[in-house]
């Protein structure tokens, strides 16, 4: 029998406890300040613009069905001791979207946080802060996608009064602000418009989030962008 889901507060405490344990371990080994200053020789010590170029070049290869990454065992041993992701992805849990494939990146290149509806909650924010602070991730991409079930369910809940079971109303509450913004535009396709606004809203939130990511963005060390993955073509369109 599966264990019951922990309440959000309990999950957050466990996550923070895990992060604290990692930090303490790094203090004990003299590695706690590895992110301050950043290691100029690290494989991901690149400008945010360069990281974005690599992702978009990879997406172009994916769309053309000409991926550069075909041997996923390559570099496996070297990744045992450390990771150097060039970007963090805030993605949807949708099974049709795989960030590593969509951007044609080898294992270890992407630090991925996924939740249905690709929005940022406190748990996800803590993960992204870890990626920026301790892994020196220079780029964060909030990646939505066409025909998003989570956004569609939220629109239906608002327009049709659909009552969702379990914890799904929590998901609706998180996406509802984006739907409200999309409604102001009066676009014919509300679900598509809400998908775009959901990405923009969460990218903007991350850009000014305190106490970590917003500061890195202000200093130019980190860039936050949004994009929409087209399920039909595989192409990522930046917003």
Cα angle value 120/126/127 (rounded, 5°) = 85
Q: What does the pLDDT read at residue 210?
A: 97
Tens digits of per-residue pLDDT, 192-221?
999 999 999 999 999 999 999 999 999 999
More confident residue, 51 or 16: 51
Surface-to-core class of residue 114, CB atoms within 10 Å of its CB (0-12 exposed, 13-18 middle, 19+ buried): middle
Tens digits of per-residue pLDDT, 43-82?
999 999 999 999 999 999 999 999 998 887 888 888 899 9
What is 108-125 written as a DSSP string? TSEEEEE-TT----HHHH
pLDDT band at 29 (very low <50, low <70, confident <90, very high): very low
pLDDT band at 40 (very low <50, low <70, confident <90, very high): confident
Residue 74 lies in a domain: no
What is 74-138 written as a DSSP string? TTTGGGSS----SEEEEE---TT--HHHHTT--TTSEEEEE-TT----HHHHHHHHHHHHHH---
Domains identified in the chain, total number: 1
- CATH number for the domain spanning 113: value is 3.40.1050.10
* Residue 57 marked in a binding site: no
Q: What does the pLDDT read at residue 77?
A: 85
State the Cα–Cα distance between residues 151 and 192, nearest whole angstrom. Answer: 9
Residue 5 lies in a domain: no
State the Cα–Cα distance between residues 139 and 222, nearest whole angstrom. Answer: 5
Residue 191 lies in a domain: yes
Please give the model's pTM, rounded to 2 decimal places.
0.84
- Which letter does DSSP use for residue 149 in this model? H
Of 99, 190, 90, 96, the C-alpha closest to 131 is 90
Residue 28 lies in a domain: no
Of 90, 110, 132, the C-alpha closest to 228 is 90
Of 133, 116, 109, the C-alpha closest to 38 is 133
Cα angle value 153/159/161 (rounded, 5°) = 80
Q: Please give the residue range of the domain that contains residue 53.
A: 43-68+84-238
Tens digits of per-residue pLDDT, 142-176?
999 999 999 999 999 999 998 899 999 999 999 99
Residue 34 lies in a domain: no
* Residue 2 marked in a binding site: no
* Residue 170 marked in a binding site: no
Residue 25 lies in a domain: no
Residue 124 lies in a domain: yes
């Amino acid at each position: 029998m599966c264990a019951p889901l922990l309440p959000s507060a309990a999950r957050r405490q466990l996550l923070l406890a895990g992060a604290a344990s990692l930090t303490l371990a790094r203090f004990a080994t003299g590695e706690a300040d590895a992110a301050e200053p950043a290691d100029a020789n690290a494989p991901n010590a690149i400008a945010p613009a360069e990281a974005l170029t690599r992702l978009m070049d990879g997406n172009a290869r994916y769309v053309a069905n000409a991926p550069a990454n075909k041997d996923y065992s390559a570099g496996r041993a070297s990744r045992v001791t450390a990771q150097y992701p060039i970007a963090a992805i805030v993605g949807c849990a949708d099974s049709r979207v795989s960030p590593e494939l969509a951007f044609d990146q080898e294992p270890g290149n992407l630090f991925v946080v996924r939740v249905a509806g690709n929005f940022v909650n406190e748990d996800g924010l803590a993960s992204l802060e870890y990626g920026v602070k301790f892994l020196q991730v220079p780029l964060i991409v909030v990646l939505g996608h066409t025909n998003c079930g989570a956004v569609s369910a939220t629109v239906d809940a608002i327009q049709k009064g659909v009552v969702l079971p379990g914890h799904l109303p929590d998901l609706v509450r998180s996406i509802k602000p984006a739907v409200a913004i999309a409604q102001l535009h009066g676009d014919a396709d509300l679900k598509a418009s809400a998908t775009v606004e959901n990405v923009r809203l969460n990218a903007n939130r991350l850009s000014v989030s305190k106490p970590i990511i917003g500061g890195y963005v202000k200093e130019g060390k980190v860039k936050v962008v949004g994009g929409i993955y087209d399920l039909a073509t595989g192409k990522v369109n930046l917003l």
